[in-house]
A and B are shown apart, each in its own frame.
Chain A
Amino acid sequence: MAFDTGLAVVVLGVAVWTIAARKTVAAVAGFVAFGLLLALVWVRLAAPDVALTEAAIGSGVTGGLLLGAATRLRRIEPSAAGETLGIGLKLAAAVLCILVATGIAAIVLLLPEPAPTLAPQVAKNLDRTGLGNPVTAVLMAYRAIDTLLEVVVLLLALVGIWSLAPDRAWGGFPGARHHADSDGLLAFVAQLLVPIGILVGIHIFWVGSTAPGGEFQGATILAAMWIFAVMAGLLDTPAVNRRWLRLLLVIGPAVFLAIGLAGFAVAGGFLAYPEAYAKVMILTIEVPVTLSIAATLALLVAGPPERPPNG
């Protein structure tokens, strides 16, 4: 218990820093640290699957995205700094936020006893999915429609980002071209770590059926490794009008949807799996979905096209 209290205090301290820091880059660095500590909290909350997601997305990829944005926005930082609120408004905001926090705290303290839970239902039906990890079972079987919609949401966000491209770069290459550094150090780091990272990503994806892990966590690592290779100048981002790229992006949701619709014919419902083939079908969905999510996440970080598609 002493450990948990200490951890909670450190987490809150870093959160306060993220809000209070004067420099944006420092605040972003604080946010990365916050994500890392949150991964520890998730382990303490008996949710290793969420801890993996938080470490990969919340801390890793979001950190990379925000660090890049913070450095690019550094030039405009002074121009936006003049519009601070007056002390009265700040106090009013503080009072409002304390009220909200107190309200939530009251709800936490007044949660019903015994706690309602769906764990027994999940446990009872776990065998029918052929999976050993209850969280993956929820994501891929009981609440598969959420997961399908989530994959579509990712794709929509990417379409939104691409639509921000200027006319001359329409369908072109996202981000600036990174060249290998003169002494080859960064390229060397990338050549060393990217293959290991790809292995780790596949491992995390693969163990997801029986142990903590799964397609989102695995895909995030794959995406991070691709961004790594781009940053080191080993690869260039592909032009977004390439057909293979578009195919890679939609293959996951398409297979997901197709198997979901096939559920009407073979098991009497959308996204229903016939019992004997449940695990095979879930894996058939997971492989293309992992590839699509990895590509989508990587391109979300790469941002809108900035260079024209031809030259």
Chain B
Amino acid sequence: MTGATLYGLCAAVLVGLGLFGLIVHPQPLRKILAFNLIGSGVFVLFGAVALRGAAAGFGGDPVPQALVITGIVVAFAATALAVALLLRLFR
């Protein structure tokens, strides 16, 4: 098994775990955490795909890597908005 496959499988488990937390947890903040876990799983999956695409002297395919950077920042913006909504809801 290669490193890419290993981390790809790890990503699959992360998505499953996050989804479980999202469904089962009653507290909204825990749902936000779980949702971030799903996001991380998807990003790692992208990372594994990028690693498989290593070529031309690069350690990995830079296009999916750049997409992940965009994704992390947008996920943060969504998290911040969700937290603000949550704090407003329970004030």
Contacts and interface: CB of A to CB of B under 8 A. Distances in A.
B84 A150 contact: no
B76 A46 contact: no
Interface in B31-83: 32-34, 36-37, 40, 43-45, 47-63, 65-70, 72-74, 76-81, 83
A24 B29 contact: yes
A77 B21 CA distance: 17
B78 to A, nearest CB: 7
A276 interface: no
A243 interface: no
Given A101-B13, A111-B49, A119 B90 contact: no
A1 interface: yes
Contacts of B84: 160-161, 164, 303-304
Contacts of B59: 46-47
Interface stretch (A48-56, A177-185, A193-201, A263-271): A48-56
Interface residues of B, number: 76
Contacts of B15: 100-101, 104
Interface in A81-138: 81-85, 90, 93-94, 96-98, 100-105, 108-109, 111, 115-120, 122-124, 134-135, 137-138
B65 A135 contact: yes
B88 A41 contact: no
A57 interface: yes
Interface string A62-90: 10011001101100110011111100001
Interface residues of A, number: 93
Interface stretch (A7-15, A229-237, A277-285): A7-15
Contacts of A206: none
Nearest to A30: B33
Nearest to B25: A19
A147 interface: yes
Contacts of B83: 65-66, 69, 303
Interface of B: 1, 3-21, 23-30, 32-34, 36-37, 40, 43-45, 47-63, 65-70, 72-74, 76-81, 83-88, 90
Given A105-B12, A118-B61, 4 more contacts: A45-B3, A150-B70, A153-B74, A164-B84
Interface of A: 1, 4-5, 8, 11-12, 15-16, 18-19, 24, 27-28, 31, 34-35, 38, 41-42, 44-47, 49-50, 53-54, 57-58, 61-62, 65-66, 69-70, 72-73, 76-77, 80-85, 90, 93-94, 96-98, 100-105, 108-109, 111, 115-120, 122-124, 134-135, 137-139, 142-143, 146-147, 150, 153-154, 157, 160-161, 164, 214, 216, 293, 297, 300-301, 303-304
